[in-house]
Copies of this chain bind each other. A is one copy, B any other.
Amino acid sequence: MSSTFGTLLKVTTFGESHGKGVGAILDGCPAKINLSEKDIQKQLTRRRPGQSKLTTKREEADLVTILSGIERGKTLGVPIGLYVANKDQRPDDYKTMQSIPRPSHADYTYQTKYGIRSASGGGRSSARETVGRVAAGAIADKFLYEIFGIEIVAWVHAVGEVEASHVDEGVISREDVDQTIVRCPDGPAAYKMVQLIDNVKERDDSVGGIITCVCRNVPPGWGEPVFDKVEAKLAQAMLSIPSTKGFEIGSGFAGTRMFGSQHNDPFVLKEGRLGTTTNFSGGVQGGITNGEPIVFRTAFKPPATISLPQTTVDFEGRKTVLEAKGRHDPCVVPRAVPIVECMAALVIGDFALRQQFRQL
């Protein structure tokens, strides 16, 4: 496994979906940051299952305990241990699936890789693994805001065919995003998204979606080309989230259909520094931030676990029909919003720490 991420700001996660609990160690967080469990809990609560009718019925309060790294409410600069106990495990729900690998889930690949796998609910491949990332990322998010004023906000851009229209990346806040349970700040689109998810859920099916994320106030000059370009590490971070199939920054795939004369972002003088009039670059040029908002999108596939009957084969290759039990999200994007934000915070936080005396 590769459960550690980051060069100077390192997160290491542990825990399986239906084991004792899940958590993370965050190493490299600067000292003297005010930190309590409350600061972390906000994002965990936005991620937790059972938060609305759109999500799985698994009931987890996902209360975090800080095991180490703070004293009298301040970080010590040492590793911060983070732990969330699992409360609502139901390994028995998965019994019938033990001999049948769920199509498009990780049962088959984990079994092939390790010769063994968690008996229930995906184990480590479950989205429950992201609890540790969200807890750690919430800390990065906090120090990025407090030290640099960096704001990271994600929202649901699309569910299935329903897309949000223009959202103002310059001002959108998490409060705006949380106005609707689907976390889409475009009201009419949000309404249709909720309807679609309701409908899909009723049909025991699932549907995909897209999340957009903006990071504002990131200073220019951050990022580490060649291989650790800002967009490269963001892409790795996003594609490491379960169920993701795509990433694009700035103009993204649409930018491939543009001409250079349209796509180039002209420079202008902005408050004493160079800025750009458009932002097709998405805040990065040559892998380094240019001071404009970093804007990127992540594609989530429809969840693989559905209760609709599926014709497939068991591990022995015998044809069978699978009707998956268990409690699953019909669409992951509403709950994935804080995951995207927290992974972005871990990436940007690492670049913050790596950005230092580049010049004499």
Q: Given the known inter-chain contacts A104-B285, A227-B2, please indicate yes or no for A78 contacting B16, CB distance below 8 A.
A: yes
Residue from B16, B81, B208 in contact with A255 in the complex, judged by beta carbons closer than 8 Å: B208
Contact of A33 with B by CB under 8 A: yes
Q: Given the known inter-chain contacts A109-B221, A245-B253, A288-B109, please indicate yes or no for A303 contacting B260, CB distance below 8 A.
A: yes
Contact B206 A259 (CB under 8 A): yes
10 A-B pairs whose Cβ atoms sit less than 8 Å apart in the complex: A105-B286, A106-B286, A229-B239, A234-B239, A236-B236, A245-B250, A246-B252, A259-B302, A263-B302, A280-B301
9 interchain residue pairs of minimum CB distance? A106-B286, A246-B248, A206-B260, A115-B359, A269-B317, A109-B288, A2-B228, A208-B256, A236-B236
Residue from B3, B101, B103, B257 in contact with A25 in the complex, judged by beta carbons closer than 8 Å: B3
- B residues near A119, Cβ cutoff 8 Å: 71-72
State how many copies of this chain the complex holds: 4
- B residues near A239, Cβ cutoff 8 Å: 229, 231-232, 234-236, 247, 249
- B residues near A246, Cβ cutoff 8 Å: 246-249, 252-253, 255-256
Q: A93-134 CB contact bits vs B (8 Å, 1 = yes)?
A: 000000001011110111011111111001111000100000
What number of A residues sit within 8 Å (CB to CB) of B?
Answer: 154
